[in-house]
Structure 1
Amino acid sequence: MTRRLVFSYLALALLVLLVLEIPLGYLYARGEESRFSQGVERDASMLAEVAEENIEKGNLRALPELAGEYVEDNAGARVVVVDRTGRVLTDSAGSVTTGTSLAAEPDIATALRNRATVATRTGADGADVLAVTMPGSSGTTVRGALRVTCPMTMVTDREHRIWAVLAVAGAGILAAVALVAFALARWITRPLRTLERATTQLAEGRLDNPPDAGSGPPELRRLAAAFTHTAARLQHLLQAQQGFASEASHQLKTPLTALRLRLENFEPYLDPRAHPSLDETIGEVERLSRMVHGLLALARLENAATTPEPVDADGVLAERAAMWAPLAAEQQVTITLTGPAVGRVWAIPGAVEQIIDNLVANALRFSPPGTSITLARAPAADLHVIDQGPGMPQSDRERAFDRFWRAADSPHDGTGLGLPIVRHLVRASGGDITLHAAPGGGLDAHVRLCPADRAGPFRTAAVPARPARRSAQHAERARQAVSRE
């Protein structure tokens, strides 16, 4: 903005200088030409009177001396004197011999008719010259004519000097305007610069340097003060929300756990016919617990302002495939990793792991025995989690990322928060996620991230599903997995 303000001031100053200096230079040039022309006319008139007297007295020898004296005083000038018939009496340049008739030349013919002429013509060397032709007459009697030619170089040299002076003066004025404009623009934009830094800090969840509200124009000072107040209010609200999420996580966990234990303690004292209802009740309590954990996790993600950093996507994919392989084997499902290595991608810390875990857990809930889940990599940091389940219609795929929404055929213990959490992690990392129908049936969760470097060579790795004992960690992940919306 400082640069644009300086350019604006300079453009305005340049416009003013052009409006003032160009007419001034033009008027000066016209004035110099007029003064020069008047001076030559005056000299030609005086010389014509003297020449006419000498011609009248028959003193023709004085004419060369007269012309020579004028030429000596005016470098580059030329004087030609003719009699009343147009024959040359003298030529200071010596280029026309005495006796040569110039009566056919327009200015000489006009002067012999007792009329003066002033004209600018091109000389033999190509330069402009001023030609003044005066009649040598007494009253109506014309005894001859005199032509004085002077080069215009003296005038043009003065014009060039004045234009150079005007240009230098204009450049000096523009330089002074630039210095003043720069200082003024810096003063005007100083609050904006501090406001920009403060906005960047606030976007990262902190405000170490509040904007400067003590300098700059009054409007910007008021804006900086209002921003500081708003930022302080937002920080207070965020801290209160984070405190609530932390406190609620602790306060809700204990009563839900106690409620589940009390329900389980009822089992020995209930009629066997009530056991199914008790199991359903315990399942709902577990679902409520997962929902509370999901809401708190989503709140923490939304409140956190983490900057994406380069992450080795291939290493994360291989690790998560190996971790989920034993759990998938218990359901007779194979986890397969394919595609060219994508290298490093931009993601917030821990996001890729959570994205893959949620999508794989979601796919595993709908994968029939004997099928496979494919973790496919594609160029430009595209990741696919493809299952061979029943898939989803287009209308359901459009609503799958809505909070708490679940498909009609989804398992009863789903919370409807898994895919919203995944989308938040992907977008916070600078990417996007979409759901598509997989070829041959099933669902293709397509995650697009931003590559941080070049992709590696093409390679394909399969992680076979092998029987393994379900660990507590795998069981917990399976219980926290969300249903497909």
Structure 2
Amino acid sequence: MTRRLLLSYLALTLLVLAVLEIPLGYFYARGEESRFSQAVERDASMLAEVAEENIEKHNLEALPELAEEYAEDTGARVVVVDRTGRLLTDSANSTATGTVLSEQADIAAALRNKATSATRTDAQGGDILAVTMPGSSGTTVRGALRVTYPMTMVTDREHRIWLALALGGAGILAAVALVAFTLARWITRPLRTLERATTQLADGHLANPPDAATGPPELRRLATSFNHTATRLQHLLRAQHGFASEASHQLKTPLASLRLRLENFEPYLDPRAHASLDETIEEVERLSRMVHGLLALARLENAATTPEPVDLDAVLADRAAMWESLAYEQHVAVAVTGPATGRVWAIPGALEQIVDNLIANALRVSPPGTTITLARAPGAELHVIDQGPGMPPADRDRAFDRFWRASDAHHDGTGLGLPIVRHLVHASGGRITLAAAPGGGLDAHVRLRPANQDARPFGRRAPTPGNRPRTRL
């Protein structure tokens, strides 16, 4: 933002300088040309009078001295002809004396007692100013005089003034740039601190609140409001996380005690009540798993959310090997297909939990003799496909809601597995959707971000006998 403010200030200053300096330089150049032309006409008129006087007195020997002296002082070229157009003297000595020049337009006009002034191109291709004056007394013309000046005498002065204007404008731009940079830094410094504070707050911990004592008044008020909002938000989040964690911990012991008491009732109950007791114990177990799920969500929301490069292929091979034995007991196979994906961005430990929960959900609904497919696709995409009954579109839209379970569900899920998966995927910068699998079943489609190829690769982690599948929710 500092750069944009600086560029806007400089652009405005440049526009003002252009509006002021370009017309000033243009009118100065035109005025310089007009003054130069008038000065040459005045000199030519005076020289023509002197030359006419010498011609009238037949003092032709004085003409070369007159022309050469003026040419040496001014750098001009002086040509004098008599009334017939015959050359009397040329200060440049480029034309022989006696040459008839009456056919030239300006000389012919001067011999008709008419002065002319024009800019033309000489034989060398340069622009010259030619002023031709008649040498006359009244209506009697005794000769003519031409004075020519190279226009470089004017253009050099014009270039100098343009250079002076450019240097002045550059100096003004430099001064404006210094002032504008200082002003822009003063304005944007609170914005940069606000940006850093917003990033920290998004990561879950505001370590450096923005300074509300510097910068423009509007930004100071904004920083004050942000600090108040951030403080209240952190307090609410801590209270929410604390309540979830404490409530989950406090419920564990009563639930375990309740289950033990129910199991202790079994010898004293009528055999006809054993079925109801078993159902009650199953509900207590489901409630216990739900409490564990709430505690897991609370921990996830308090955990670090900075993604790191993780080897997706190694994780898939590891988790497939860990779930293979449990799936085999239910006569279900677990297969990993597709080209190797490499590393993806994920928060620490998230990828393992994502795969575990998706395989657990697929295993619950997979009939015997079917296969759960972990299909890799280009672009860091993963498909967990089962061959179960699938889900209607309306249920797929609600499957990520907390505690939601399909009305026709016959398993003991808690409705927290997919919400946890979605939280982990989003925290890793990815997306997850549910779709109908070809041939029936459900396709859990996870899109992650490929890790930077320049980052140091992770080693492939081999499965170890001590690893076990994560707790299913």
Cα deviation, residue 249, structure 1: 1.3
Tell me if 1:228 matches 2:219: no
- The answer to whether the 8 Å contact 1:87/1:101 transfers is yes
Match of 2:225, as an amino acid? Answer: A
The equivalent residue for 1:458 is: none
Structural mapping, 1:32-51, within 5 Å: 32-51=32-51
Distance 1:356 1:96 in 2: 103
What's the counterpart of residue 418 of structure 1?
Answer: 417
Determine the C-alpha separation between the residues in 2 that align with 1:250 and 1:403: 19
CA shift in 2, pair 1:47/1:237, >3 Å: same
Cα shift at 1:370: 2.3
Look up the SS of the partner of 2:196 in the other structure: helix
Residue of structure 1 equivalent to 2:342: 343
**2:248, 2:294 within 8 Å by CA — same for their partners in 1?**
no
The CA deviation at 1:244 is: 0.9
Post-superposition shift, 1:220? 0.9
User: Which residue in 2 is equivalent to 1:2?
Assistant: 2
* Contact kept? 1:245, 1:300, Cα under 8 Å: no
For residues 305 and 237 of structure 1, do their structure 2 counterparts lie closer, same or farther at Cα, with a shift above 3 Å needed? farther
> Is the 2:304–2:347 contact (alpha carbons within 8 Å) kept by the matching residues of 1?
no
Give the secondary structure class of the aligned counterpart of 1:155: helix
Structure 1 partner of 2:154? 155
Q: Which residue of 2 is the match for residue 15 of structure 1?
A: 15
Cα distance change of structure 1 residues 453 and 108 upon mapping to structure 2, 3 Å threshold:
closer
Range moving further from structure 2, 224-233 or 321-330? 321-330
The alpha-carbon deviation at position 453 of structure 1 amounts to 5.6
Corresponding position of 2:194: 195
Query: Residue 394 of structure 2 aligns with which residue?
Result: 395
Question: What is the alpha-carbon distance in structure 2 between the residues aligned to residue 347 and residue 2 of structure 1?
Answer: 34
Contact 1:238/1:303 (<8 A) preserved? no
**In structure 1, distance between residues paired with 2:321 and 2:79:** 112
Query: Quick one: structure 1 residues 402 and 245, their matched pair in 2 at CA, closer, same or farther if it must change by over 3 Å?
Result: closer
Q: TM-score, normalised by structure 1?
A: 0.89
Aligned to 2:244: 245
Distance, in Å, in 1 between the alignment partners of 2:38 and 2:118 is 12
Tell me, in whole angstroms, the C-alpha distance in 1 between the residues paired with 2:17 and 2:79: 46
For residue 382 of structure 1, report the CA deviation from its aligned partner: 2.2
Q: Residues 124-273 of structure 1: matches in 2 within 5 Å?
A: 124-273=123-272
Q: Give yes or no for contact 2:79–2:147 (8 Å, CA) kept in 1.
A: yes
Q: Distance in 1 between matches of 2:355 and 2:275?
A: 34
Equivalent residue for 2:472, pick from 466, 478, 481: 481
Structure 2 residue aligned with 1:64: 64
Residue 290 of structure 2 is matched in structure 1 by: 291
Change (3 A) 1:152 1:337: closer
Contiguous gaps of at least 5 residues in structure 2: 454-462
CA contact (8 A) 2:364 2:411 kept: no
Alignment match, 1:28:
28
Q: Map of 1:69-80 to 2, 5 A cutoff?
A: 69-75=69-75, 77-80=76-79
Distance 1:381-1:289 versus aligned 2 partners, 3 A rule: same
TM-score between both structures, scaled by the size of structure 2: 0.91
1:439 is paired with a residue whose SS is coil
Cα distance in 2 for partners of 1:310, 1:207 equals: 25
User: 1:185-213: CA deviations, max 9, x gaps?
Assistant: 11111111111111111111112211122
Matches within 5 A, 1:78-97: 78-97=77-96
Matched, 1:428 2:427: yes
**Distance in 1 (alpha carbons) for counterparts of 2:102 and 2:37:** 24
Distance 2:159 2:43 in 1: 25
- Which residue identity is paired with 1:173? I
* Residues 1:375 and 2:366 aligned together: no
Measured against aligned partners, the alpha-carbon deviations of 1:406-438 in whole angstroms (never above 9, x if no partner) come to 223211522222112111111111112222333
Correspondence for 1:364: 363
Q: Is the 8 Å Cα contact of residues 82 and 90 (structure 1) preserved in structure 2?
A: yes
Amino acid at match of 1:348: I
Per the alignment, in what secondary structure is the counterpart of residue 165 of structure 1? helix
Helix, strand or coil for the counterpart of 1:451?
Answer: coil
The structural deviation recorded for 1:46 is 1.0
Letter in 2 for 1:172: G
For 2:460, the equivalent position in structure 1 comes to none
Contact 1:203 1:305 in 2 (8 A): no
Question: Whole-Å Cα distance in 2 between the matches of residues 155 and 141 of structure 1?
Answer: 35
Which deviates more from structure 2 when the two are superposed, residues 214-223 or residues 319-328? 319-328
* 1:256-302: CA deviation from partner (whole Å, max 9, x where unpaired): 22222333333333332222222222222222222233233224323
1:248 offset after TM fit, Å?
A: 0.5
Q: What is the CA distance between 1:386 and its match in structure 2?
A: 2.1
**1:140-176 CA distance string (max 9 Å, x none):** 2222211111112211111111211221222122112
Q: Quick one: which amino acid aligns to residue 360 of structure 1?
A: I
Deviation at 1:247, TM superposition (A): 0.9
Distance 1:173 1:41, change over 3 A: same
Tell me which stretches of 4 or more aligned residues in structure 1 moved more than 6 Å.
Answer: none
Matches of 1:26 and 1:339, distance apart in 2: 73
Q: CA deviation at 1:347?
A: 1.0
Displacement of 1:383: 2.1
Q: CA RMSD in A?
A: 2.2
Paired residues of 2:44 and 2:145 also in contact (CA < 8 A): yes
Letter in 2 for 1:59: N
Q: 1:372–1:388: 8 Å Cα contact kept in structure 2?
A: yes
How does 1:303-318 map onto structure 2 within 5 Å? 303-318=302-317
8 Å contact 1:375–1:385 — kept in the other structure?
yes
1:353-390 deviation line (CA, Å, top 9, x unaligned): 21111111111111222222222333332222222222
- Answer with 41-50 or 265-274: which moved more: 265-274
Letter in 2 for 1:389: G
Distance 1:126 1:80 in 2: 20
Assess if the C-alpha contact under 8 Å between 2:371 and 2:387 holds in 1: yes
Separation of aligned partners in 1, 2:416 and 2:233: 26
Instruction: Please give the alpha-carbon distance, in whole angstroms, between the structure 1 residues aligned to 2:342 and 2:91.
Output: 93
Segment of structure 1 superposing worse, 96-105 or 201-210:
96-105
What CA distance in whole angstroms lies between the structure 2 residues aligned with 1:379 and 1:134? 90
Asked whether the equivalents of residues 343 and 453 of structure 1 are also in contact (C-alpha less than 8 Å), the reply is no
Percent identity of the aligned residues? 81
